[in-house]
Every structure is written in C-alpha cells, then in structure tokens.
Amino acid sequence: MRRKWNLLILGLLICMLASSTALAKVKITYWSGWGGDELEDLKVVIEEFNQANPDIEVETTTIFGAYEKLLTAIAGGRGPDVVSAVWASQLAALAHHGALQPLDKYIESSDVVHPDDFFPAIWKSFNYQGHVWALAATTNTNFEAYNKDFFREAGLDPERPPTNLSELEEVSRKLTEWDSKGELTRLGFLPGGLWKWGLVFGGDWMNEDTGAITADHPRNVAALQWLGGFWAGDGGENIQNFSAGFGNYWSPNNPFMVGKLAMQSYGEWLEMFQQKYNPSLDYGVFATPAPEGGRDNVTTFGGSVFAIPVGTKNGDAAWRFVEWITGPEGQKKLAKIFANMPPRVAVARDPEVLEQVPILKFGLGLLEGPNAFGDLPSPVGEMYQAEMGRAEEAVTRGEAEAEAALKQVKSTIEKEYNKVR
C-alpha cells in the first residue's frame, strides 16, 4: 500500500513539474516605435511568433522619442529586452554610449542571419567600429512622386517626368499656381534635405576611412547654392509662408495627397498613403534628377532597427525574437502590412511581395544600384544632419552664403566629433 502511495505521489510531482515547466515562459519586453493601426498589425505578427515559440512571450510597448528614454531606462536598470523604437541614424551613438549589446556572437551561430542575405549597403549600416549592433526588419528607399493629373492640366506628358535638374526646374514652374491675390495655391516641387542633395550633386559628408568631416565639399556647396536658388526663384518668403500651412505629412492632410504639392519626395509608403488618403490619386515616381557631374539614381534609406540593449537578463530569448522578425518570414509579413522595403535581397525580390506592393519594384532598382546611401555611421550623425538643416534654412532665407554656412557646420561637428573619437 505504501508503495502505491509513493508511486502516486511521485506521479503527481512529475505532473506538477511538467505543468510548471510548460507554464514557465520567458517574458521579454519590446519597445516598438509603431503606433495606431500599424501597432495593431504588428501585434498580429508578434502573436504568430509567440504561438510558434511557446516558451517565449513578447510584450509590446510603444515608445516615441525613445533615444533619451532608452539611455535613462538602462541607467536605472529598467531597459527593455528588445528595442526598435530607435532609428538607424542613432545606432552609432547608442553603441558609443554602451547602450547596446553587439550581436556578433548570435550571428556567428545563426542559421538564419548571414551578411550576404542583406543588401550590402544596408548590412553596412548595421556596423560600427567592427561590430554589428542591430538588424532591420524593414527599410525604405527615397525617390520623387508626381501627380499625373496636374501634368495633364499643364500640357505635360504624364508618362515623362523630369530627368535632369533643368527639366525639374522647368516642370516645377509650370505646375506652380497662384491666385488672383498673388498668393501660392500649389507648389510644383519643394526640394529639401541637404544631406540627400549633396549626395545627388556628387558630394560627400564624411570620409569613412579617416572620419574627416567634409561638410564644405565643393559639391555640397553647389547643392546648397542650388537649393537656395530654387527657393528664391518663386519668392522664398512666399514658399516659406505657403509650406508653413501644410498639414501633417503622416496624415490625410499630407500636402501631396491634398494637391498642395505637385511633386514631392517619398518612399514606398506612398502606395499605402494613396490607398488610405486619396484612392483616386493618379501618381508616378521618378529617381531624383542629378546635375552634370553628379550621381544618378541616388537613394537614401533608413528606418528603425531591432537591437538588444545592455542589461537584459533574457538575451537568448531576445535574440530569438530579433532573429525571427528580421528573418525571411518576419520581413515578408511586415513588407505586406507596412508597404516598406525588405532589407533582405530574397524577400525584396519575392514575386508575392512585389505583387502585393508593386511600388517596391521601383525602390528595388534604386537599392540594387551603386548610389544607395544609409545614415552617417557616426555618433554625431544625427547632430550633423540637424546642423545641415539649419544651414539649409539660413541659405534659403537669404541669411547666409552656402560656403560660409557649410564651413560653420564643419567647425561645429568637428568639435563634437573630437569629443567622442
């Protein structure tokens, strides 16, 4: 009898142990930068990971403006296990401040992640000082969009967008409209983003071999001079006042969607915007035109990246999630719901993905070309771009000359860069 009781107790203990083991999940906290409908779509994808990995549960929280919050949380021992609420442009700075774990050891033993799986320029953007600090599940390219109906109204061929700067300027003038009071009602084109235009003109912003800051490169100066002249051509103050009244870019009041801009820089999300905000919009896309001596078919790319902060006690589980969501399955799912470019070559070329998001075909051609540029691989990269913006604003307002403005940018960034080298 005693033996039967012992066996019964032993059996119960085994069942309890098995039950507790089955219920013992590793919960990992994930900071996402997506919100609204996109967050709900993302949660559906994450739930698929949770179901396929019953020993892990990903808990998602949306955090906006996560850079400083992440540093503060890590310092207080409350950092997340995974974060994608930071931008690729912030990666080098976070790595420099010791906020992230390098992923090298995980990648070396992974059957899913290999450098050759990704577009070379994108894989390069994950690297800083010899280590890989993050991976991307989505990215985006950059190109110009135009309203075909406005082309038709102006007597322009809607299937022939501008192919050089002279044509861009001419077409922009024809598409710009004024009311009887002499006030702008529609702007043909609004160039912006000195970083991109410097690259288009053939300039460079940093020597990646030496780390030298090259803000005053002659081609960067030429780009800024052109931007200043472009604004002045239609009255800089008028353009400033008109553009100040634009609605939020990420809303139904986007100026291109509501017809206040005839041409505008965009990424692959254009297709999603059109379907969501203006289904009747007839648009086309074209590569950013370059001047003589510049770079043709330039595209810039960026976006959020998945990283594992220091201090996590769940590094292996965190990596399994990062590996999955940046892997082929995760990227394919996110490409379909976000209409963003997959960073993996095979996924970006997948016929099923291209059929569902046709605009990816155009971006794919740019990304596979020689002139695809990621964010500056520097701890001062974001500050650098902010200083470019200030220089651009000063020149377009007529408050500074291009060369002097860029020399000031160089001086400012060199001082900051020397502090962290």
pLDDT tens for residues 336-359?
888 899 999 999 999 999 999 999
In the DSSP assignment, the letter for residue 255 is: T
Helices (H), 201-314: 218-233, 236-244, 270-277
User: Tell me: the pLDDT tens digits for 261-289?
Assistant: 999 999 999 998 999 999 999 999 999 99
Q: Is the pLDDT of residue 379 over 90?
A: yes
Higher confidence at residue 63 or residue 235?
63
User: Residue 258 contacts by C-beta under 8 Å, 6 or more apart in sequence?
Assistant: 247, 252, 278
Q: Is the pLDDT of residue 239 over 70?
A: yes
Distance (Å, whole) CA 324 – CA 331: 9
Distance (Å, whole) CA 404 – CA 391: 9
Q: Is the pLDDT of residue 19 over 70?
A: no
- Predicted confidence at residue 299, as pLDDT, reads 96
Structure tokens at 173: 């003038």
Distance (Å, whole) CA 237 – CA 226: 17
Structural domains in the chain, CATH included, are 26-140+302-373 (3.40.190.10), 143-300+380-420 (3.40.190.10)
Q: Which helix (H) or strand (E) holds 298?
A: none
Strand order of the β-sheet with 56-62 is: 56-62, 26-32, 82-83
In the DSSP assignment, the letter for residue 248 is: P
- Predicted confidence at residue 250, as pLDDT, reads 82
Distance (Å, whole) CA 317 – CA 154: 58
Distance (Å, whole) CA 91 – CA 382: 10
User: Residue 21 contacts by C-beta under 8 Å, 6 or more apart in sequence?
Assistant: none
Residue percentage of the chain with pLDDT more than 70 = 93
CA atoms within 13 A on the CB side of 298: 23
Distance (Å) of CA 148 to CA 155, 157, 164, 285? 11, 8, 18, 10
Q: Is the pLDDT of residue 236 over 90?
A: no
Distance (Å, whole) CA 107 – CA 99: 19
Higher confidence at residue 12 or residue 330?
330
- Predicted confidence at residue 1, as pLDDT, reads 53
User: Residue 168 contacts by C-beta under 8 Å, 6 or more apart in sequence?
Assistant: 162, 189, 289
